[in-house]
Amino acid sequence: MRLEGIYSLVESKGILKEINFDFNEGKLYYVVVENEKTGVNMFDIIGLVSPIMRGKYIINGVDVSGFSYRAKTEIRREYIGFLFKEILLDNDFNVFDNVLIPLINNKKLEKKKKEEKVINYLKKYNLDDLMEKYPKNLSANERQMVSLVRALINDPHFILAYEPTDLLSENEEKEFYEALKKITKLNIGVIIITRKVLYKEYADEIYWYENKLM
């Protein structure tokens, strides 16, 4: 995945410009920004949500920057799993159903296979005892670990995260970063957008993005 000279309009109020990153599967990256506004907008740009005015967004040798919103949605579903600062789980669904949600539109798997996959992933991350619980009954750490499994359930090439441990304690924070680093061993790239570098030793590359919001 490569971003070359990207300029992107931000909420009709300004432009993030000169975005140049190379991301490879199996590595952990920090993209360090100066403030939250830039971080949120960078998350949307790398996540193929914000429109690209100029530049190239290359995946597997193909520039997808000019693709339609629907085509970009399909690319996101296949290539990128998302981790949000706010831990966005659906409070009306239990843990099992929350993790199942990204598989609903996966036409390659039958219903039974989807359910088996959810169970196997929850067991893999020692979360199977939480299957029937609802987000409101979980700790912040448990909710974010469930979010991580949900992000992984479609076997993405990359995990994109924005300040993923802001709501966790210091001990939980370190454990979560350890989990993110272990994911790279599965040949999945991890991209963390943040205002501060935590556990620098886990990084394969650190990009410092100067706030160029105009």
100-121: per-residue pLDDT in tens? 999 988 888 899 999 999 999 9
pTM across the whole model = 0.94
Give every residue of the chain whose pLDDT is below 50, as ranges: 214
**Spatial separation of the C-alpha atoms in residues 159 and 25, rounded to whole Å:** 10
Per-residue tokens: 1: 């995945």
Per-residue tokens: 170: 């210091």
Tens digit of pLDDT for each residue in 181-213? 999 999 999 999 999 998 999 999 999 997 555
Residue that the structure tokens 């750490």 belong to:
141
Model pLDDT, residue 86: 85
| Residue among 123, 169, 168, 174 nearest 149 (CA) | 123
Model pLDDT, residue 13: 64
Model pLDDT, residue 107: 81
Model pLDDT, residue 211: 59
Burial label for 40, CB within 10 Å (0-12, 13-18, 19+), is: middle
Model pLDDT, residue 181: 97
Sorted by sequence, the CB contacts under 8 Å of residue 103 that are 6+ apart come out as 109, 114, 117, 118, 153, 154
| Residue among 86, 8, 89 nearest 46 (CA) | 8
**Spatial separation of the C-alpha atoms in residues 48 and 63, rounded to whole Å:** 12
Model pLDDT, residue 115: 96
Model pLDDT, residue 212: 56
Residue 44, Ramachandran bin (φ over 0: left; ψ between -120 and 50: alpha; else beta) = alpha
Amino acid at 90: D
Sorted by sequence, the CB contacts under 8 Å of residue 28 that are 6+ apart come out as 180, 181, 184, 189, 190, 192, 202, 203, 204
